[in-house]
Structure 1
């Protein structure tokens, strides 16, 4: 895979588009080579956007979003025994560690009935309460099926079963592919081996579409040129406030370091997903290395509550 950018820069310009008025544009560029190369990338992205007619002109096909790639701190590079870069771990905009790789196709599938419905059924707060007032669930959380990735009665349980059937049907259609199925807090994660599909390829888009992946996740894989999987809990699910300015801070910043320490300590009692089943051919050694890294990081066999 391509290295994760180590350098970031921005290009700013006020541009007048005929019939639309002025736009203050800010575009980020990145590079693994140098700060100067990151600045050149930012300028090139800005020029492409201007030549295309501005953000509104491209929004309909979601093509503007690749120019909005956000900087992420590079935490670790993972190499095969022969030195090939096969994965990298970054910290995303709200502070979670994220696996980036092109060695294994990763697809997340959400329960489309949504966690909001599940929360309302249990009499808890809505989305804004969970995101910003949140922390751990209140009384009765231990009985919450979502907290352990378990199906519950009613529409959400039916959706759980439906998605498992979609996954089973996919495996039948693609016996050449290995499948590892995990339950997340609000859906499923699939690690698919043997596809050889590049993250931005039509083959990857087709396979993820068959599995029911969110369209924006498919786009995100193309934008980052890697499959992505969150490895650590969402902060608001483990009683840690989201540090809104995290993406703009340096790892050397004291407030940043204190936040990371609190987050890491609070993460120890939670998992991100749990392994349900495996199917198909065995992974290659390269794929297995990424799978083992993923499973250790997410607590796939820990039995801990999911966050």
Structure 2
């Protein structure tokens, strides 16, 4: 299965009213399905209508089918990535995701992001019992409502202390956030010295780009790699279902001062034609503000120095779009 990021999208609808005593037991049924095409909107509409009719007939025949495709931009099994195409370069497709950032989609060049683990709460049961004891004593000797306030104030204070102490430990133990995140990556490369990984710093972790060869997302080595380095499980599932690898190559809007969400609110594609001017104004403002930020920054290369032409081409495109070699704030 090749990566599919269609140019054209349409939605088909089949709706019928039934009389009493219909064999299905229904009074009415409405089914919607999407269709897609790289050729034309008419072809996408024809597919949508055919899928809607097939699902409609299946439901009437007793099959357990949804009445409409899930309204998500990707990771819906059986549906391609539903995002507008910004540009194409060979097999690589740049799309705009549901919150407005540009994403690089490749059928065979392996990317993986590693997020820093969140700090533990640091809360201890003793904090609760101390707060409860002080609150009870205050309520008994002074006034009950003052005791309740004392209890709540102490719980809040202990929560702040515990969180601050846990955050300090989290930043320093095991060499700090970056060292802990990179430890499984370095262990993987030590065990697989033929791999060539480029490492990039992101706002909340690291991005890895494999250079030594291309990969089929369904190859067994891909989930094994993801598991070994601690990559996000949702991203690993997306790669399998969408048969591609993705990397965000422009900033997240809320990190660059964009207060309003990209219209329409869901950001899902396609949108009604009358909403396009509003959306285009938002995108123009977003792209203007994005110029002052980088999505990631190149840190180092690990393992071998082997690469193939496909990975080199995608790497150059990725680095230019992310501004990975410029000293800009990460967003």
Q: TM-score surpassing 0.5?
A: yes
- Aligned-pair distance for 1:191? 0.5
Report the CA distance shift for 1:278/1:52 in structure 2 as closer, same or farther (over 3 A). Answer: farther
Larger Rg: 1 or 2? Answer: 2
Secondary structure in 1 aligned to 2:91?
Answer: strand
Taking the aligned partners of 1:253 and 1:111, their CA distance within structure 2 comes to 37
After superposition, the CA RMSD in angstroms is 3.6
Report the CA distance shift for 1:45/1:159 in structure 2 as closer, same or farther (over 3 A). Answer: farther
**What's 1:109 paired with?**
114
Contact 1:183/1:276, CA 8 A, preserved across alignment = yes
Alignment coverage as a number of residue pairs: 260
**What's 1:138 paired with?**
none
Deviations 1:184-206 (A, max 9, x none): 11121110123432123333222
Report the CA distance shift for 1:109/1:64 in structure 2 as closer, same or farther (over 3 A). Answer: closer
Secondary structure in 2 aligned to 1:66?
Answer: coil
Deviations 1:43-101 (A, max 9, x none): 67665796872359xx9xxx9822465521111111xxxxxx23111111111111011
TM-score, length-normalised on structure 2? Answer: 0.67
Greater fraction of residues in strand: 1
Contact 1:27/1:67, CA 8 A, preserved across alignment = no
Aligned counterparts, 1:42-81, within 5 A: 42=48, 47=54, 53-54=64-65, 65-67=76-78, 69=80, 71-78=82-89
Deviations 1:19-48 (A, max 9, x none): 9xx996544332213334434554676657
Secondary structure in 1 aligned to 2:77?
Answer: helix
Taking the aligned partners of 1:110 and 1:72, their CA distance within structure 2 comes to 24
Answering whether residue 326 of structure 2 is matched by residue 302 of structure 1, we say: yes
Taking the aligned partners of 2:51 and 2:227, their CA distance within structure 1 comes to 28
Deviations 1:272-306 (A, max 9, x none): 11111102233212211110110111111212111
Q: 223, 241, 245: which is aligned to 1:227?
A: 245
Contact 1:90/1:98, CA 8 A, preserved across alignment = yes
Taking the aligned partners of 2:276 and 2:202, their CA distance within structure 1 comes to 32
